[in-house]
Chains A and B, each alone.
Chain A
Amino acid sequence: QQQVKQSPQSLIVQKGGISIINCAYENTAFDYFPWYQQFPGKGPALLIAIRPDVSEKKEGRFTISFNKSAKQFSLHIMDSQPGDSATYFCAASIIYRDDKIIFGKGTRLHILP
């Protein structure tokens, strides 16, 4: 059973456009939702994270929108740049308990110059 479902699998966006990646989860005990960015040959790196007590978190061009009732959250990348081309993973965890992070399958994002 996949606990975190991510879509789309791949995404192509024009430079300057908005990239949107969606995730859904099943386990209502999850209380920490990070997004990771991974470049080829590198490990994933934490990009931005949200707790379920807020509906939106913004850091620079990156915004997480969170809908607790729908058990969905999404990553928006504003003014997408070629340097944003990478694989993005949504994830979820139950913090202060088992604490392991469960990842989605990833979205390969390509920004056209």
Chain B
Amino acid sequence: DTGVSQDPRHKITKRGQNVTFRCDPISEHNRLYWYRQTLGQGPEFLTYFQNEAQLEKSRLLSDRFSAERPKGSFSTLEIQRTEQGDSAMYLCASSPTWTVYGYTFGSGTRLTVV
């Protein structure tokens, strides 16, 4: 499978717990993006990496959120002290150097905070 892979597909957690999601991009893509999508809304940009460098973070990414991309390969998104408002689909996408060449999304991780 040469697409973008996200794990887990679903996560249910209790409020206050920490969660971590993983994204494996298409191997030749050096850009990786994280988005959040709530029900009935479009994806909202959270952050992106070029190789291992995190180039931009949205204001939506509070200090409870942290993302890493060690060695410029897979990426992880961690949410600490989860809140009910964090319940959403977390989408990862990857692209070659420039977006105009294509932006491929994974199927997402659906987080439910109870």
SS of A interface (majority):
loop
Whether B40 pairs with A106 at a CB distance below 8 angstroms is: yes
Q: Which residues from chain B contact A102 at a C-beta distance below 8 Å?
A: 45
Q: Which residues from chain B contact A106 at a C-beta distance below 8 Å?
A: 40-42
Give the number of residue pairs across the A-B interface with Cβ within 8 Å: 56
Q: How many angstroms from the CA of A99 to the CA of B103 in the assembled complex? A: 10
Q: How many angstroms from the CA of A36 to the CA of B79 in the assembled complex? A: 27
Q: What total of chain B residues lie within 8 Å of the partner, measured CB to CB?
A: 23
Q: Which residues from chain B contact A91 at a C-beta distance below 8 Å?
A: 42
Whether B98 pairs with A103 at a CB distance below 8 angstroms is: no
Whether A43 pairs with B40 at a CB distance below 8 angstroms is: no
Interface residues on A, range: 20 to 34
Shortest A46–chain B CB gap in Å is: 6
Given contacts A89-B43, A96-B98, contact A101 B106 (CB under 8 A): no
Does A93 reach chain B (CB closer than 8 Å)? yes
Interface flags for B34-58 (1: CB within 8 Å of A; 0: not) read 0000001111110010000000100
Residues of B within 8 A of A (CB): 4, 31, 33, 40-45, 48, 56, 91, 93, 98-100, 102-108
